[in-house]
Amino acid sequence: MDCFPTEIRSWNDWPRAMPDDPLDLIANAEIVSGAGTDQGVFVDSSTYTTPPVAPSLLKIIGGRIIDPTGPTVLASLQNPISTLKVGAANNPKRIEIDFNNTPDTGTVITSSFFAMRLSTGFVGGASVSFPASNTARLDFISALPADVYMVQLNGSSSPVITLSTVAMDGEAIALPSGDGVAGGNFLFSLNVVAGSLPTPPSAPPLVSGSHWKPSQISVIGVPICEALETTNAQKAADAAQWTFDHLAANTSSSLAPPLPNRLYLRGGTEWRMDIPLNVGYIGYPELVISLLTNAATRGDCQGTIPAILFNARTYAGPIALRVTLKKYGNFMVGIRGIDSNGYYSMYNSTWYVVA
């Protein structure tokens, strides 16, 4: 059938993206991770194959702070490492947590799902209910006053929240929670400030059972141009001057996934570009680079295309993507990762390849 390109509006659209052949642009690709340098392998396989079966462990996939009178979502849990912030005058009286499955009956209780106040300790009198089979709700007697709070769901501390008697995989590294092994408490911070705050648009949680989630990958610095002819002093000086002239990169990572990073890269097989990335805390045993047509998606069209595969180790934290580029132009690049929990995510970047 015919393909009709449409704009990519969110990470949910990436599984349907139309890939191009990276061989047309990239002459060489490597990942520098610590002391190791791994060579990318050109493979003839789709970067959008159906993900494997999701892990059967119980995980947290989202959460909200709510004013129940509306009800109004005051803040959404997108990254448990960050502190949520709400206004005391906005009536923060309810917390909801979404799981990827239905926890065992009776394991989500006020001693396994609770809040601690920095100044006074445990917040008593709260009640737990289930507005949906995979959503736990913690309602307080009155709105939380201004203070700093820590919210915890037990995956290690007793009593433990379980699925089929197996402890919740709860480490608050990212969403979904966990490190792929049963156990781990899920904690996040809540800062209730005096007065009121504007109510942001609510972020929907990951779909229960979803294999795709927001990418943890982000650009953390300006790409560096290096001359491949390292003994040529003029070439080395030219590369340094080029980098100085193109000190521009959008390194915003305030959204999940980060805003598309727009990078200036130097084309030509005389040079290499080192792109500094942070690939997150969980770690990706597999990264795949592909090119995508200009912000286009494909309905039901299918295809198998070349891609650049890295799977020599688990990639986590700061790395450098080192590429040598053949030609000039504007290209949309996707980096698909499969994390150690088996979840897929897609990071995208716009590369402006210039002389």
β-strands 329-338, 318-325 pairing: unpaired
**Cα gap 58→155, rounded to integer Å:** 9
Pick the CATH number of 60-193 from 1.10.8.640, 3.40.50.2000, 3.30.2270.10, 2.60.40.1220: 2.60.40.1220
How far apart CA 205 and CA 257 sit, in angstroms, is 13
**Predicted local confidence at residue 86, as pLDDT:** 95
For the stretch 273-309, pLDDT in tens is 999 999 887 788 888 888 876 434 333 344 446 788 8
The pLDDT of 245-255, averaged and rounded, is 64
At residue 280, the pLDDT reads 83
Q: What's the pLDDT at 257?
A: 46
**Residue 180's pLDDT band (boundaries 50, 70, 90)?**
confident
Please report the pLDDT score of residue 17 as a whole number. Answer: 61
Looking at residue 199, what is its pLDDT?
A: 83
Report pLDDT digits (tens) over 193-206: 999 998 887 776 67
Residue 89 has pLDDT above 80, yes or no: yes
**CATH 2.60.40.1220 residue spans of the chain:** 60-193
Instruction: Output the pLDDT for position 169.
Output: 94
For residue 354, give the nearest of 330, 320, 337 by alpha carbon. Answer: 330
Per residue in 296-328, is it b (16+ CB within 10 Å) or e — as a string? bbbeeeeeebbbbbbbbeebbeebbbbbbbeee
85-107 residues labelled b (16+ CB within 10 A) or e (exposed): ebbbebbbbbbbbbbbbebbeeb
What is the average pLDDT across 324-330? 92
Q: Do the beta carbons of residue 195 and residue 89 sit within 8 Å?
A: yes
CA 73, CA 96: separation in Å to the nearest integer?
10
Assign 28 a pLDDT band (cuts: 50, 70, 90). Answer: very high
> What's the chain's average pLDDT?
83
| Residue that wins the pLDDT comparison between 295 and 47 | 47
- pLDDT, tens digit, 9 for 90 and up, residues 143-170: 999 999 999 999 999 999 999 999 999 9
121-122 β-sheet, strand order? 84-87, 186-193, 147-153, 113-117, 121-122
Phi, psi of 121 (to 5 degrees): 95, -145
